[in-house]
Amino acid sequence: MSFFNNYDRDQIYNEMEGKSSGSSGGIVAKTLSIVLLISLGFASGSIFSAYQNSKTSGSSGNIPVIQTSSNNSGTAYTISHTDVSGIVTKCADSVVEIGIEAQTSLGYYTYTQQGNGSGVIISSDGYILTNNHVISGANKITVTLRNGTNYEATLVGTDSKTDIAIIKIDANNLTVANIGDSDKLVVGELAVAIGNPLGQLGGTVTDGIISALEREITIDSKKMNLIQTNAAINPGNSGGGLFNANGDLIGVVVAKSSGFDVEGLGFAIPVNDVKDVINDILQHGYATNRPFLGVSMKDTSYSNGNDSFYSFFFQQVSYGALVDEVTKDSPAEKAGIQKNDIIISINNEVVSSASEVSTKISTFNVGDKVTIGLIRDGKTLNVEATLEEYKGQQ
């Protein structure tokens, strides 16, 4: 398939003027004028007919074929057009707005943070697909349908590796997105994004093309193979839908590339990559076969000198991840990892941040034994942990 701009009609202008030098010349000129006018009449009628047909066909949301032509090499190609309003009619009601509230403690103070995102309805009885990062840490999740109805949602399950989450609202007879086949995408075909940009503009529709496939992008220290599109993506679109010309869901919007002078770089998770994860979460409440160590961590800077004078005059090096909490009965606790340990290596490979530890753990399989390098009370030591299957938030 190809992406094509809206149908443009070229108006035909033809001015005929001249002076005859004799009666025979005048007759010839008049005759030629009549022939040309008749020809133009047929041509104009054909163009008008094609345009009317394109308008009628386009209103359904499908791609009607307008004409077949050829390039300079003689290779035939098909020019097609689509009416985005037909796509919107089919699938806009399946996209929802998501609002979250998360409470954060800072010393003696607790304050509430608010966030926004989007989601896609995947069952008529209220299951909604979104990004894990949209609802991560939320104490309260609110869903707003396109008709303005509000619901409080419950979390069904998440998968941080694919950045997928499923939430549930108590509703029925909802409009469900038709799941497409992202393996059949072709660079250049139409892409339509629907979501809640800026957390205030729910139901916003933007269109563009599939700009690239299998883009390896690092997000939160996780490498992901994503669909690239130039359909406008903004904060708040995360978790929303990327649809093809048939109105089928082909991707879950995950990010836009930000920075000065950066436009037209949006990314979505191919829907085929997360179908199994979605089924796992619906059946078990978590994604199966995900290795689990059992620690919560935060980044730290560990000085390569214990003397305060040395630490003051020399730059501290980001070195490892501080263990903030150890899950009870987890592989980490069984291996002897303690709170305030600093994880500095996994299987003798240095790690410099909490996200890097998580990324490396995710590359192993359930049941694998891994050697964890630690710093405890200024001394280094190694422990061995046997990774278990993560079974969601307990």
- Residues forming the active site: 133, 163, 238
Instruction: With beta carbons less than 8 A apart as the criterion, state whether 209 and 229 touch.
Output: yes
Torsion angle (degrees, nearest 10) of CA 182, 183, 189, 193: 10
Gap between the Cα atoms of 372 and 67, Å rounded: 64
CA distances from residue 310 to 304, 318, 321, 344 in whole angstroms, order as listed: 9, 16, 22, 21
Gap between the Cα atoms of 255 and 296, Å rounded: 25
Gap between the Cα atoms of 54 and 169, Å rounded: 40
Give Cα 47 to chain centroid, integer Å: 40
- Per the structure block, which two tokens stand in for 36? 């040309």
For 239: left if phi > 0, alpha if psi spans -120 to 50, otherwise beta; the answer is left
- Least Cα distance to 46 among 71, 9, 15, 20 occurs for 9
Q: How many CA atoms lie within 13 A of 218 on its CB side?
A: 4
CA distances from residue 140 to 15, 108, 240 in whole angstroms, order as listed: 70, 22, 19
Measured between its terminal Cα atoms, the distance across the chain in Å is 46
With tokens 């995900």, the residue in question is: 290
- Per the structure block, which two tokens stand in for 230? 């130039």
Gap between the Cα atoms of 337 and 346, Å rounded: 13
Q: How many residues would you count in the chain?
A: 394
Buried residues in 253-266 as b, exposed as e (16+ CB within 10 A)? bbbbeeeeeeeebb
The radius of gyration of the chain's CA atoms, rounded to the nearest angstrom, is 30
